Structure 1
Amino acid sequence: MALVSCSTAPTSATSTASTAKAVEQAPRTLRLAAPAPPVRLDPAIAADSESFRVTRQIYETLISLDSNSGSPVAGLAESWTQSEDGLTYTFTLRQGVKFHDGTELDAKAVVENFKRWATMSSKLAADSGQGFNEVFHHREDLPKLPSPKDLETKLKDGEQLSEYEQGAEQHRLQAFEAVKPVFKQTLFVGKSSAGSASYFSSIQATSKYLVTLKLRRALPSLIDALTLPGMAIAAPSALTGGPKDNPADALLTTPMGTGPFKFASNKDGLVRLEIFNDYWNSARFEANKNHPEVVLISSIASPYNRETAMRADEIDGFDLVSVDIMRNLIRGAKLVVQRDPFSVLYLGLDRRNKWLAKPEVRRAIAHAINHGQLADKLFIQGSKSAGSILPPALSIPEPEPRYNLDQNQAMQLLEQAGYKGEEIEFAYPLRVSRNYLPLPERTFAQLAEDLAKVGIKIKPRPIPWTDGYVDTVRSKDFNGMHLLGYAGGYRNEDDFLSGILAAKADEFGYTSTLLDSQILAARSLEPGDERTAAYASILTTMNYDLPLVPLVFPISALAFNSNVTFYPSSPMLNECFADIQMNNSPAISS
């Protein structure tokens, strides 16, 4: 309207034709609102879903995911083989694949990416969330197996173990006996270039399109793990030239991969992606001629503001629909696309806090929370209360005993601990939605209400997400309760365990050589009953130790206006915008 009012001159036939031609040539543009801006556009040192939302369009991995089953399929590697001992993998690369700078993908490019990850500084590696360190545990040291005496409950004179404590001690001793034979073996073979528990041995270009990767210990989940966004292959031209502490510094501002979209700009809170015309998989575009040609990703923190922007036609769609606007969207005939639950929300309990150090207080908190009400009131229908940190899709039984709502039991435990209403700090994020936490302020309020009913006094500590919320609650400077969660990247238990426990000493004030030993022993087990039992035992160890209280396995959803007719949702958030289907309206000028 403003443009029309600025011009009073008559419109000529020529200018009308030019305008019509410009509209006709305008690229199909998807305007998507995310709940937060990307933190880093280098997937090797990113850890947040919003960064990966962008980088998944620009980069690709050796192994991809089937959009329907979530199973690993050919990616940049068109095929692969594995040796009988599980220590050597050979990948045959696709030919004719180009990076966005015009250079060709070959074995040398893949090797350069792996060498960059393996030699990355510890400081940069710590910023990674779903990449090389998480897959190969490259900087980890071999845990020292505890002795049976270490696992016995320490009692003062005259004290006796309660039934609960007897169960906990018995479990610890049984878990120790189960992993002891594993640690009598030679766990890792060959020399390590990093931590003693690194699974990575070497990688080399066997020929122009053949890559050989060797491990120091079998890792049955490797092929699935190579689908993680942090394992994306970047153009070698961008891996050098930066400062000594990060030679690939250019990737932070100019990401460079082989994906269907190339990076155009990231300015004033708006990321612009454009179709890559030399993309190797032209059949993907042919199969979907209504794909977006330009994608504009903005960030709007509030789900209510995201909905308002879509209704005003300022955006075409948004992620993370909240439960209270779902009904309005359905009534308005909007396209709502749900994801199956593959993330977990939890309440962290830091043992460096005087009261949270007491097992009785941690158990009281677990019994005070109304998990079912939380899931029903603040999450999309179908979200389930969580009895462990592993989602049901992984088929690992929940541990016993389960901490069901029991306010009387909670108050008795607080009395045993000598707690008399002292304040305990409780941190929660502001101005953000996560797929595991769509309504953080209201979730905090619900939990605070539950805890108040049993006499626990909370000192709220709201922290804006973009002001370093995650860094704060995972630091030595904070030692209260906090809300956080984890979104799984591939179908494997170790992904959740490694992601959530990566900073357990700083986040929960929690260390356990028994747990570390159990996790290491379970990683090399092939799928089957033995593996299932091993992970069930790990969950039981965590259930007794209670560094955190699992809360909800949420269903998340996106919403779109009528110009988007299909969106390729994925529980693992592996959603390629080239598969989105749109009609030609509205046309957005480039």
Structure 2
Amino acid sequence: MPDLPLSLVSRRAMLTGTLATTALALAACTGKSGTQADPSSNASASSTPIPRTLRLSASAPPIKLDPAVVADNESFRVTRQVYETLVNIDLDTGGAIPGLAESWIESTDGLTYVFKLREGVLFHDGTELIAAGVIANFKRWESLSSSQTASSTQGFFDVFHYDCDIPKLPKADDLEPEVKDGESASAEQLATQQERVQQLTELQKQFTTNLFTGKSKGGSASYFRSVEATDKYEVTLRLRRRLPDLIEAFTLPGMAIAAPSGLTGGPEDNPAESLATAPVGTGPYKFVSLDKVVVRLEIFADYWNQKRLIDNKQHPEVVLISSIPSPYNREGALLAEEVDGFDMVSVDTMRTLVRNAKVVVQRDPFSVLYLGMDQRNKWLAKPEFRKAIAHATNRTSLADKLFIQGSKYAATILPPALNIPSPENTPSHDESKAKALLDEINYKGEEIEFAYPLRVSRNYLPLPERTFAQISEDLAKVGIRIKPRPIAWTDGYVKTVQSSEFNGLHLLGFSGGYRSADDFFSGILANKANEFGYKSALLDSQILLARSIPSGEERTNAYASILKTLDEDLPLLPLVFPISALAFNGNVTFYPPSPMLNECYADVQMTNSPALKS
């Protein structure tokens, strides 16, 4: 396909939120906005046809194009087009539907799954998807190094908790509150202790049974037992303990199936090294190039799901994804008609988009922004200090001022869509309580380092610098002094704040990959010892046992108890459940927003911009 100029021209009336999505869909159905221009008015008959091209601006370049060893959504933005998973997500319900596996059967004990693969599916290298290729991916995932798995939060190790061990339950004495010499525990501390002792008693009953069956090549708490090809198009997976959310977990981008040809040929410690820069999957788009900050994808002519493409004749044939860190510059590129759309609309850019009659499509909130509080810090180690920060931070104001309308303050790390009740009496904004707590521990204004990212926008953090500034202002009002630590996102911000070398406050967040509370607990707390200086055998035990409870009241209560433990220990302060949004010019007539960011461009409906048709 021919190379294309960077400049596009487009126009459309402004819509926002659900209204925008509905109107775009209606326009596509009626054909009013989706019809192609008359070829006679464009290039001559002898000219090479210009493919429908979607030019989308993201906030950062992809880190790697190997979804098994990354955790950033900008990488997944690309890999979701190139790769596919055994199980897919229904765009309407968010539930699991067939993907590369056309069906599956679960055994009555929940320990065996048999997947029937689709026949005739081709990888971009021309080879066919068969069970042996799926097994090759599993074997590769099992053998990933610790450094590779440390960079992933939505892959094999996270789904199966492959390297985890069964936690050792604490003793009742370990749950006694810490008090100063000569002082007595408060009534609140004693009540918490009593409740935790009761929880421990219930946990001990369950830990007397054999929690896992069969041998493990990973940790003692690994859910993965074995996988084998039981027919050419049949894969049988066996578990060591029930995982009721397993099918939904298979939709995670890190569980994408790569072509076996890409799994070999690299160095001994990373045979699949080529996938980082040259991904090969079964998806509707094949990877063509990554030139500086622009990724080029082209439609895969032999894509197995031709019905998907035929039913949407206005899908992009070429996708160009560029990187523009600043939300204001992304907005400028759209207004200058250099791109068709951009992601991570901020509350500030929203105003300009409204004035310029651009299309805005919002996603339902399914991510959380939080303030990490590392307990290896002298002051952050004190429960009173962390609670003072919670009372000092005006989360409602933060959500209202710096996030798109409809974003809400977060009382817990679980989005409302998961329907897990919040603990009673979570810390609310109260400056007088914050000051009283600081006086109680004799805090005299010592500086606390506070890290925040530069030159990036995330769906949970569209305006990092201003978010940092507002929280710092809140803390200053109660006497907490901050030492700013700005770190460019591309200079290893996440790695820094999740390391043992950094022991202060930091801003970070998590985007849910599928509808499961365990996804949030596991994703946010996977590195809690380094990120928050936090260890809790009680919490680890609660999470492990809750993970295997089928959906229902018992499971809801178990997750509510986990939230209560987190609220009492306060290793992090949930801040906001943000609504994220994309903006488009009028040549994009439908975009499929997903709370889980599982957005395939083969479902976009568009016409070429006037610039490309002239």
Per the shorter chain, which TM-score range? over 0.9
1:10 match:
none
Runs of 4+ in 1 over 6 A off after TM superposition: none
30-39 vs 143-152, which moves further:
143-152
RMSD: 1.6
Return the offset for 1:582.
0.3
1:25 partner SS: coil
Return the offset for 1:136.
0.1
Return the offset for 1:23.
6.0
Q: Does 1:494 align with 2:518?
A: yes
2:125 match:
101
1:195 match:
219
Listed one character per residue, the Cα deviations across residues 52-78 of structure 1 (whole Å, up to 9, x for unaligned) are 000000000000000011000000000
Return the offset for 1:170.
2.5
Q: 2:318 aligns with which of 294, 307, 315?
A: 294
425-434 vs 150-159, which moves further:
150-159
Return the offset for 1:156.
4.3
TM-score normalised over the length of structure 1: 0.96
2:459 match:
435
2:610 partner SS: coil
1:323 match:
347
Q: 1:341 aligns with which of 359, 365, 378?
A: 365
Q: 1:476 aligns with which of 482, 487, 500?
A: 500
Listed one character per residue, the Cα deviations across residues 86-110 of structure 1 (whole Å, up to 9, x for unaligned) are 0000000000000000000011111
Amino acid at match of 1:227: T
1:26 match:
50
2:44 partner SS: helix
- 1:175-574 alignment runs, 5 A limit: 175-574=199-598
Return the offset for 1:120.
1.4
Amino acid at match of 1:212: T
Question: 5+ unaligned residues in a row in structure 1: which ranges?
Answer: 4-15
Residues 107 and 210, structure 1, Cα contact 8 Å, conserved in 2: yes
- 1:139-178 alignment runs, 5 A limit: 139-178=163-202
- 1:50-129 alignment runs, 5 A limit: 50-129=74-153
2:27 match:
none
Residues 290 and 582, structure 1, Cα contact 8 Å, conserved in 2: yes
1:42 match:
66
Amino acid at match of 1:144: K
Residues 27 and 587, structure 1, Cα contact 8 Å, conserved in 2: no
Residues 26 and 587, structure 1, Cα contact 8 Å, conserved in 2: no
Amino acid at match of 2:318: V
- The count of aligned residue pairs is 576
Return the offset for 1:22.
6.8
Return the offset for 1:333.
2.1
Amino acid at match of 1:263: F
Amino acid at match of 2:304: W
2:33 match:
none
Residues 23 and 587, structure 1, Cα contact 8 Å, conserved in 2: no
Listed one character per residue, the Cα deviations across residues 350-396 of structure 1 (whole Å, up to 9, x for unaligned) are 01111001110000000001111000000000000000000000000
Residues 317 and 559, structure 1, Cα contact 8 Å, conserved in 2: yes
Amino acid at match of 2:79: T
Return the offset for 1:295.
0.3
Residues 45 and 125, structure 1, Cα contact 8 Å, conserved in 2: yes
Which structure is higher in RCO with an 8 Å CA cutoff and minimum separation 6?
2
1:527 partner SS: coil
Listed one character per residue, the Cα deviations across residues 232-258 of structure 1 (whole Å, up to 9, x for unaligned) are 000001101100110001101110000
Structure 1 distance, partners of 2:216, 2:291, is 42
Return the offset for 1:335.
1.2
1:449 partner SS: helix
Structure 1 distance, partners of 2:78, 2:300, is 14
Residues 564 and 580, structure 1, Cα contact 8 Å, conserved in 2: yes
TM-score normalised over the length of structure 2: 0.92
1:485 partner SS: strand
Question: 5+ unaligned residues in a row in structure 2: which ranges?
Answer: 6-39
Amino acid at match of 1:179: L
